[in-house]
Each structure stands twice: as structure tokens, then as C-alpha cells.
């Protein structure tokens, strides 16, 4: 069961890369901006604040400043991103990583299922970042724990979602990538197996997303836009299997559980997504042979059938676009093939 600390930390992580705006009060005495931020950002160290400022994460009245800038009444501060204080202890662990691309600036990894991206409550080890820390220490054994670039995580994918994720290896690269994600210019395409036969070949879901009022571990849509965060998902049918459909989803925004929540909203919950009810037979008559077939599919792919297939962004150093593709993982491929054979042969 999800505990309040877990919920609180997840909510903090959701805000890691959101824009945070401040306006300096009229009665504010001149104060160094790094000190002003340290007072207001709980758990943040002066060193990490300075790293963020020097890397361009912060603007004052639309311009970047130095850490010794003194705030004045009426100053408008915009914080693009910040290092989450929960990352103060990151243990390096020898965890195999499927590295798709690496240079001095960025690291692109194809994440397997059942791997948490970052340490948190109940997940202090075995995460992607634990493995990245070990990998970086092999490259530079002189690195100290507090020098490991935890700021390199500029986006996330869920524990049971597979596919591509990019991490920055320098503070400058982190700032560059964070701005791209904030501006929604990063190219991200996912493939998902969803329940039901989607009528239209393509479409767009435009509905705000916020945490569910009753079931706090999950999220839901607020179509009227009075609650939650603006979220847009474009989808296109790849292949139909009568009871399920393989779709491509393109994110225009990047909210927590966005594809999972949006697809459920239009009546097509992701296959075997237990948090949103996809681990039940949602389409098709429930009879012995069909139920056995679906249960076998659940066994083959014991997770939400979602894969981050395409990732493209402007390289922080060369300013040229680079694009990466990853094949569907074996569990999704096997389940899709089972449905394909069913459609072709009309047998289980």
C-alpha cells in the first residue's frame, strides 16, 4: 500500500522539472540569490543551488545571473529545474545498463522493465541512477559521491515502462536538455498495446491531468481544465487485433502517467496496466478458452504494455538533432505475435 511519505515524495518528483516562479517582496533587503533560494527551497544545499544558477537553470527578469547577484524588490525569478534533495545519498551499484549512445555530454539508455529510474522511498538501491553512478565511477574513479551528476536526470519513465531515456553528464548539458523538455521540443514516441478496437485511425487527447482525489497513487483526467496540468497526447493506430489495438503515442506534454491516463480516458486502457484496471478482460466475452488466452498474455507480459520507442533532441554541444529508436522488448513482441496469430487463425 502507498504511504503518505511515498505520495509526498512522488509529488515532489513531479515538480522536479516544472517551472517555478517567484516575485521578490517589496520589503526584501538586498541578499545573494543563492542564499535567498536556499532559505526557500527545503533540503537544498548552497552548492547545488550554485550549480543550477551557473548552468542557466534560473533567470531573473528574463536574464541569467551569477550566484552573487543580489535580489531586489520586484525581481521576477523563474527556476527551470532543480536537483531534488532526496538524491543526497546515491550508492553506486554494478547494474547492467543497455547504453544506446554516450559521449562527454549525454547518456542514452534503453531501460528494461521492472527498474525504477531514481532512488526514493522503498527504492534506495537497484535503480537506473545507481547503475549510472557506478558506470561514471568506472570512467573516473576519482569522483566523490557528492560529485556524481544527479542533476543529469531530466525526465523519467515509469518503473514498468521500457525504452529510451536520456541523462546529462554535465551541468550545462542538463540545463540545455531541461529547457528542451520545458519547451516540449523533445521528440518522444511510445508504442502501447491497449484494450479495445479504436475506431479512428488517429486522434488527439487534450485533457488536464492531476492526482486522483480518492486513489492518491494514481492520476485521472479533468477535461474542463479547472484542475490539474495541461496535457496533450496524439495517437495513431499501428495494428488492430479486434479486442486490443497497437498504437503509437506522441507526447506533446510530459505528465506523470500521461499516456496511461489519457488512453483510459478515451476508453482504451493499456493492456495489463493493473493500476488503471487493465489487468482484467475489458473487451471480449469471458469464457474459458478466451480467458486462458488472455491470462497467458498477462503472464508473458506481466506489466503495463508501454514502450518508449523514439527519442530525439538537440545535442547540447553540437546543437544538431540526434534521434534514437529502440525495438519493442521481447515481452511485448511475444504478446503482439499471439494476438496477431489469433486474428489470422481465429484460434487461441
> What is the distance between the alpha carbons of residues 304 and 52, in angstroms, rounded to a whole number?
35
> What is the distance between the alpha carbons of residues 79 and 73, in angstroms, rounded to a whole number?
17
For residue 19, how far is the Cα from the chain centroid?
A: 16
pLDDT > 70? residue 86: no
CATH for 88-179 (3.30.2000.10, 3.30.1540.10, 3.30.2350.10, 3.60.150.10): 3.30.2350.10
pLDDT the model gives residue 99: 97
Say if residue 21 is exposed, middle or buried (CB neighbours under 10 Å; 0-12, 13-18, 19+).
exposed
Reported as a single tens digit per residue, the pLDDT across 112-155 is: 999 988 876 666 788 998 899 899 889 888 766 555 555 578 88
Q: What is the mean pLDDT of the chain?
A: 85
Do 88-179 and 187-345 share a fold? yes
- Cβ–Cβ under 8 Å, residues 207 and 263: no
34, 75, 158, 331: which is the annotated catalytic residue? 158
For residue 255 the three cell numbers come to 505528465
- Cβ–Cβ under 8 Å, residues 211 and 112: no
Which range among 2-16, 55-69, 319-333 shows the weakest confidence by mean pLDDT? Answer: 2-16
- Cβ–Cβ under 8 Å, residues 165 and 156: yes
Specify the length of the chain in residues: 348
Domain ranges across the chain: 20-79, 88-179, 187-345
pLDDT the model gives residue 108: 97
**How do strand 244-251 and strand 187-195 relate by DSSP bridges?**
antiparallel
> What is the distance between the alpha carbons of residues 286 and 270, in angstroms, rounded to a whole number?
18
> 20-79 sits in which CATH class?
alpha beta
Reported as a single tens digit per residue, the pLDDT across 158-177 is: 999 999 999 988 877 887 88
pTM for this model (two decimals) = 0.79
For the chain, the first-to-last Cα distance in angstroms comes to: 36
Mean pLDDT of 170-197: 89
pLDDT the model gives residue 247: 98
- Please spell the DSSP secondary structure of 153-191, one letter per residue: B-----TT-EEEEEEESSHHHHHHHHHHHHTT-SEEEEE
The yes/no answer on whether domain 187-345 falls in CATH 3.40.50.2020 is no
For residue 273, indicate whether it is catalytic. no
Work out the pLDDT band at 43, boundaries 50, 70, 90: low
pLDDT the model gives residue 332: 98
pLDDT > 50? residue 10: no
- Please spell the DSSP secondary structure of 20-32, one letter per residue: EEEE--TTPPPEE
> What is the distance between the alpha carbons of residues 83 and 78, in angstroms, rounded to a whole number?
15
Amino acid at each position: 500500500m502507498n504511504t503518505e511519505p511515498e505520495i509526498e515524495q512522488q509529488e515532489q518528483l513531479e515538480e522536479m522539472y516544472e517551472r517555478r516562479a517567484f516575485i521578490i517582496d517589496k520589503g526584501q533587503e538586498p541578499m545573494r540569490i543563492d542564499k535567498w533560494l536556499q532559505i526557500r527551497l527545503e533540503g537544498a544545499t548552497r552548492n547545488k543551488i550554485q550549480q543550477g544558477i551557473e548552468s542557466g537553470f534560473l533567470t531573473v527578469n528574463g536574464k541569467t545571473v551569477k550566484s552573487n547577484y543580489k535580489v531586489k524588490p520586484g525581481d521576477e525569478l523563474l527556476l527551470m529545474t532543480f536537483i531534488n534533495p532526496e538524491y543526497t545519498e546515491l550508492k553506486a551499484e554494478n547494474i547492467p545498463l543497455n547504453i544506446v549512445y554516450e559521449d562527454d555530454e549525454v547518456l542514452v539508455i534503453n531501460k528494461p522493465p521492472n527498474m525504477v529510474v531514481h532512488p526514493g522511498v522503498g527504492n534506495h538501491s537497484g535503480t537506473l541512477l545507481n547503475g549510472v553512478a557506478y558506470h561514471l565511477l568506472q570512467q573516473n574513479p576519482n569522483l566523490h559521491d557528492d560529485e556524481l551528476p544527479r542533476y543529469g536526470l531530466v525526465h523519467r519513465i515509469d518503473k514498468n515502462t521500457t525504452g529510451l531515456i536520456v541523462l546529462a553528464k554535465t551541468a550545462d548539458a542538463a540545463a540545455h536538455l531541461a529547457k528542451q523538455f520545458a519547451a516540449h521540443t523533445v521528440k518522444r514516441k511510445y508504442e502501447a498495446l491497449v484494450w479495445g478496437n479504436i475506431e479512428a485511425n488517429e486522434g488527439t487527447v487534450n485533457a488536464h491531468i492531476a492526482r486522483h482525489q480518492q486513489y492518491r497513487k494514481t492520476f485521472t483526467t479533468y477535461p474542463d481544465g479547472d484542475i490539474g496540468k495541461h496535457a496533450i497526447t496524439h495517437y495513431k493506430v499501428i495494428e488492430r487485433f479486434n479486442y486490443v489495438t497497437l498504437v503509437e503515442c506522441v507526447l506533446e506534454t510530459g505528465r506523470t502517467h500521461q499516456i496511461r491516463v489519457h488512453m483510459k480516458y478515451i476508453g482504451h486502457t493499456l493492456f495489463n496496466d493493473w493500476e488503471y484496471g487493465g489487468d482484467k478482460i475489458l473487451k471480449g466475452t469471458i469464457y474459458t478458452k478466451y480467458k486462458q488466452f488472455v491470462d497467458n498474455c498477462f503472464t508473458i507480459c506481466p506489466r503495463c504494455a508501454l514502450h518508449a520507442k523514439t527519442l530525439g533532441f538537440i545535442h547540447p554541444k553540437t546543437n544538431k538533432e540526434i534521434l534514437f529508436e529502440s525495438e519493442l522488448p521481447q515481452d511485448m513482441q511475444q504478446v503482439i505475435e499471439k494476438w496477431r496469430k489469433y486474428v489470422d487463425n481465429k484460434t487461441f
